[in-house]
């Protein structure tokens, strides 16, 4: 009987150990401190991210080993600003960003190059359904990216001395200069300030006889399809954003006015990279007005004091700059009611020729 009890106790101990070990992965931020890991405090200040914390669900900390391979991944869920992580001895590069790489966290973004600090990138998903007039474009149609912010640290080293110091801080009444330097290293992740990895752009068109238009849509062609999370550099591949101009402001005459929209983009790889803007107007009689096209390369202006960074393109003001590719947009006067509403994307589908 005693031997049976001892065997049962041993089996119970083995079961408990197996359960405990199976629950220890790279992701959890809580648990027993391992014998070869340093305890690193985390503090993230999201104030310059352009994303309200209450709109976030999770946050990720990726540590890419210098030798290569999959990164160590830690996820913040209970608190998105303060926590601590257990890090093995080694040399790493660090990227911190809102949400995770799980596809369920994003509507219009995918992540590539996950095993490399230099290549880890956020990429806009391709448009898989027709967008109003646009079933295809000269470049692939891409989705407008979700709000995204990140912070990076090219080199973060965890030494055995740092490991030991991370466990013994506060146990002595005074510290040496060497220990102070170790404390500074331990606190390398205590001042994380993510910044936007996206931009916004506002397209505004001034139109004569705007009331003659039942719907106005467009394509902005030449924006980067993604961004490298560590460096913040835009990818060299480009795509086209389809958009609908659904904000109207009429002049006093009730006929002319402006129509506008603001949406997220990854931006341009270089400020001088080529941009084309095309706008199509569906008239009140159901016909499509002649496409209005603009070389928008030098028509982008920055809007100061915005987070994320914001740019704008305004067309239809040809008198402001004789060297600009801008020109007037004049629709036929169809004597229609100024209260025409903008139609949905799927009401009319006219493939590009």
CA distance 236 to 201: 19
Question: What is the per-residue pLDDT for 334?
Answer: 87
Q: What is the pTM of this model?
A: 0.84
Question: What is the per-residue pLDDT for 41?
Answer: 97
Residue 133 has which token pair?
């007039």
Question: What is the per-residue pLDDT for 139?
Answer: 76
Question: What is the per-residue pLDDT for 15?
Answer: 43
CA 227 to chain centre: 8
Could you give the angle at the alpha carbon of 97 between the alpha carbons of 233 and 141, nearest 5°? 55
CB-side neighbour CA atoms (13 Å) of 138: 10
Question: What is the per-residue pLDDT for 347?
Answer: 45
| CA distance between the termini of the chain | 87
pLDDT of the chain along its 353 residues, tens only? 444 444 444 544 444 343 333 333 345 443 344 558 999 999 999 999 999 999 999 999 999 999 888 999 999 999 999 999 999 999 999 999 999 999 999 999 999 999 999 999 999 999 987 776 676 556 789 999 999 999 999 999 999 999 999 988 766 656 788 889 999 999 999 999 999 999 999 999 999 999 999 999 999 999 999 999 999 999 999 999 999 999 999 999 999 999 999 999 999 988 788 999 999 999 999 999 999 999 999 999 999 999 999 999 999 997 666 677 899 999 999 866 544 444 444 444 433 33
CA distance 160 to 164: 6
Please provide the size of the chain in residues: 353
């Amino acid at each position: 009987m005693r031997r049976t009890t001892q065997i049962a106790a041993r089996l119970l101990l083995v079961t408990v150990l197996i359960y405990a070990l199976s629950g220890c992965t790279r992701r959890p931020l809580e648990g027993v401190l391992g014998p070869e890991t340093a305890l690193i405090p985390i503090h993230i200040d999201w104030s310059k991210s352009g994303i309200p914390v209450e709109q976030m669900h999770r946050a990720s900390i990726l540590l890419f080993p210098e030798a290569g391979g999959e990164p160590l991944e830690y996820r913040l869920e209970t608190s998105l600003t303060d926590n601590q992580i257990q890090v093995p001895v080694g040399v790493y590069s660090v990227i911190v960003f809102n949400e995770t790489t799980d596809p369920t966290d994003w509507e219009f973004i995918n992540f590539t190059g996950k095993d490399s600090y230099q290549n880890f990138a956020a990429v806009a998903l391709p448009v898989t359904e027709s967008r109003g007039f646009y079933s295809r474009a000269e470049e692939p149609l891409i989705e407008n990216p979700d709000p995204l912010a990140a912070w990076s640290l090219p080199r973060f080293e965890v030494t055995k001395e740092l490991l030991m110091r991370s466990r013994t801080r506060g146990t002595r009444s005074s510290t040496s200069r060497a220990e102070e330097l170790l404390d500074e290293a331990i606190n390398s992740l205590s001042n994380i300030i993510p910044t936007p990895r996206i931009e916004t752009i506002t397209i505004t068109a001034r139109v004569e006889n705007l009331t003659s238009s039942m719907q106005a849509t467009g394509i902005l062609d030449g924006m980067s399809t993604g961004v490298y999370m560590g460096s913040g550099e835009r990818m060299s591949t480009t795509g086209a954003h389809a958009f609908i101009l659904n904000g109207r402001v009429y002049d006093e005459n009730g006929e002319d006015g402006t129509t506008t929209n603001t949406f997220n983009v990854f931006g341009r790889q270089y400020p001088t990279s080529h941009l084309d803007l095309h706008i199509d107007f569906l008239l009140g009689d159901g016909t499509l007005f002649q496409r209005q096209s603009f070389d928008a390369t030098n028509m982008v202006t920055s809007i100061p004091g915005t987070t994320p960074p914001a740019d704008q393109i305004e067309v239809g003001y040809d008198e402001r700059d004789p060297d600009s590719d801008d020109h007037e947009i004049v629709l036929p006067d169809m004597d229609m009611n100024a209260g025409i509403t903008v139609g949905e994307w799927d009401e009319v589908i006219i493939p590009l020729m």
